[in-house]
Structure 1
Amino acid sequence: MKRFHIHIAVDDLQRNIAFYSALFQAEPGVIQEDYAKWMLDDPRINFAISSRGRKPGLDHLGIQVESGQELENVQQVLTAAALPVIEQKQAACCYAESDKYWTVDPQGIAWEAFHSLKGIPLFGKDAALPTDQAASCCSPSAQCG
């Protein structure tokens, strides 16, 4: 089963944790000094915020899957859509190690398809995505960490 992912850059992490906790009626499952994440079932979403000096607003969108096979299926869909796709195996980003595929939609919004393998103790960084669009926090063109 897939889970929609949204990552928003914020300027005041604590204020935004309070706001989104009230909105979702749930506390985040992950809180770090620069990051928070809610894994919600209603709606089924992986919602993350970070305060890492990025311009506030939408950072990137994504689709989180539960297995390597589901990730390969999403990669095939991205490739069939004739989008540029970058593969990343065992990426360390957003306090998780994940296998990922990255693309950029026609508006320049970074999209990631990913399968999280395990939690890690650092924010990390991703590889480079060939685009002249502004880099998102964990998009392959960014230097996180």
Structure 2
Amino acid sequence: MKRLHVSFNVRDLDASIQFYTQLFGCQPTLVRDQYAKWLLDDPRMNFVLEAGEGEPGFSHAGLQSETPGELHEVFARMKSAEAPYLPEGVTTCCYHKSEKSWTSDPDGVMWEAFHTQHQTEERGAAPQFVLQPG
């Protein structure tokens, strides 16, 4: 089963953690330097806050797959959408080693599809690219 991924850039990580802890009714699953993540089951979501990564607000959405096979099904759907498609491959980003690809919708909303292999101690680097709307 896939999990919706939503990522926001924030100015004040501590204040945002306080707010979302109250909103979701639970503590973050992972907190690191300039990063917090909740793996929620109700609603089934991977919710991320990142500080120092750009203007505050919505960053991107995504689909987190539980298996490599499920991920490759999502990759195939991304490719068939006739939109920009960028396979990133296996990478370390956001304190996790994952395989991922990116696309954007007709309005330029970035979507990431990924399967996490394991958590890491290093943050890694966010990809540096721009996908033009399809």
TM bucket (normalised to shorter chain) is over 0.9
CA positional deviation for 1:127: 3.9
Distance 2:57 2:100 in 1: 22
Higher deviation after alignment, 83-92 or 9-18: 83-92
Structure 1 counterpart of 2:71: 71
How much identity, in percent, do the aligned residues show?
Answer: 38
CA positional deviation for 1:132: 5.6
* Preserved CA contact (<8 Å) 1:104 1:111: yes
Q: Match of 1:86, as an amino acid?
A: L
Note the alpha carbon deviations across 1:87-126, whole angstroms, 9 max, x for none. 1222111100100010111111111000001111122124
Secondary structure of residue in 2 paired with 1:19: helix
**Are 2:101 and 1:101 aligned?**
yes
* Preserved CA contact (<8 Å) 2:99 2:116: yes
Note the alpha carbon deviations across 1:46-80, whole angstroms, 9 max, x for none. 00001024100001100000011001000111111
The alignment covers a number of residue pairs equal to 133
Runs (5+) with no aligned partner, structure 1: 134-145
Bigger proportion of residues as strand: 2
Distance 2:78 2:50 in 1: 26
Secondary structure of residue in 2 paired with 1:15: helix
The TM-score normalised by the length of structure 1 is 0.87
Distance 1:101 1:3 in 2: 16
TM-align CA RMSD: 1.4
Structure 2 counterpart of 1:55: 55
Distance 1:13 1:94 in 2: 15
Distance 1:89 1:77 in 2: 16
**Are 2:6 and 1:6 aligned?**
yes
Q: Match of 2:48, as an amino acid?
A: A
Runs (5+) with no aligned partner, structure 2: none
CA positional deviation for 1:130: 4.7
Within a 5 Å distance, the mapping from 1:28-47 to structure 2 comes to: 28-47=28-47
Q: Match of 2:35, as an amino acid?
A: Y
